[in-house]
Amino acid sequence: MIEFTNVDKVYPNKVKALENINLKIEKGEFVAVIGLSGAGKSTLIRCINRMHDITSGSLVVDGTNVGKLKGKEIRNFRKKIGMIFQSFNLITRTTVIKNVLVSFVPQLSFWRKLTGIFSKEHKLQALTALDQVGILEKAYIRVDQLSGGQQQRVALARTLAQNPTILLADEPIASLDPVTSKQVMDDFKRINQEMGMTVLLNIHHVEVALEYADRIIGVREGQIVYDGSANEVTDEVLDYIYKGKAGEVKQEMYKEGAYV
């Protein structure tokens, strides 16, 4: 479903973010990308939905050569790919359901955009998405009255309402407490298992990645240095991915209260 072939990404300042990436991700996989800050994790994720352009090589997503897309083709392509960020990107002064309905705005006719009137079908899709993440009862509550975890679930519902085939997440639990992090990760796992949706997330919390993901991709200095089952990740593997600092990374997570 996702295939990188000899992909490099070099930023305008000459920094090489990705180097010779060769990677295949099949439909329905749950994959976590781990590594030090600045290793290239976010860049890897963001190339998939063309938030970043690759410099060389080939990237094919669900049969589409991403690098060759232009203009409106990119916007249409992104409809198939959900993206969750660390910052929730919600409109806090309005209701939960209105935030979910935002995902339908590009599909609306001019007069519906002008009036802000959504169809019954769109409202039902939004409510269904909220039900899928367990916060249907919050549909008509203002977002600024929700906890951080509930807000992240609203962001997830907004993405699900698009009916994507792939779900990407860039540090989705970085700002959440341990209990809320577990709730959000449980949502990702359930969506992956019940809907058969491909889930690919970049995550700083090593133990959480190992607990939830079926497959781990370790990135170090822009290169993939580990690609295999989460069950086969050893302390030696983690030390190599984290340049001998795996223990420090875990200790930092404990200080932050990431593990309970």
DSSP string over 52-76: S--SEEEEEETTEEGGG--THHHHH
Same domain, 40 and 156: no
The domain tally of the chain equals: 2
Same domain, 22 and 71: yes
Q: Which residue range(s) make up the domain with 186?
A: 1-80+165-260
Q: Whats the size of the chain, residue-wise?
A: 260
Tens of pLDDT along the chain (260 residues) come to 899 999 999 999 999 999 999 999 999 999 999 999 999 999 999 999 999 999 999 999 999 999 999 988 988 898 889 998 888 788 889 999 989 988 776 555 444 544 566 778 888 999 999 999 989 999 999 999 998 889 989 999 989 988 899 999 999 998 888 888 898 899 999 999 989 999 999 998 899 999 999 999 999 999 999 999 999 999 999 999 998 766 666 555 555 554 44
For 64-99, write each residue's pLDDT tens digit. 999 999 988 988 898 889 998 888 788 889 999 989
Q: Which of 163, 183, 208 is the last residue of a domain?
A: 163
Query: What is the CATH number for 16?
Result: 3.40.50.300
Q: Which of 97, 131, 163 is the last residue of a domain?
A: 163
Same domain, 101 and 197: no
Same domain, 255 and 169: yes
Same domain, 128 and 203: no
Q: Which residues of 158-176 are buried (b: 16+ CB within 10 A; e: fewer)?
A: bbbbbebbbbbbbbbbbeb
Same domain, 13 and 99: no
CA torsion, ordered 99, 100, 105, 107, to nearest 10 deg: 180
d(CA 181, CA 204): 12
Tally the C-alpha atoms within 13 A of residue 194's C-alpha that lie toward its C-beta: 9
Same domain, 147 and 256: no
Tell me what pLDDT residue 79 has.
84
Tell me what pLDDT residue 103 has.
78
Same domain, 194 and 258: yes
d(CA 224, CA 245): 17
Same domain, 3 and 57: yes
CA–chain centroid gap for 16, Å, is 22
Rg of the chain (C-alpha set) = 19
Same domain, 55 and 173: yes
pTM: 0.85
Same domain, 11 and 62: yes
Same domain, 172 and 155: no
Q: Which of 163, 179, 194 is the last residue of a domain?
A: 163
CB 233 within 8 A of CB 210: yes
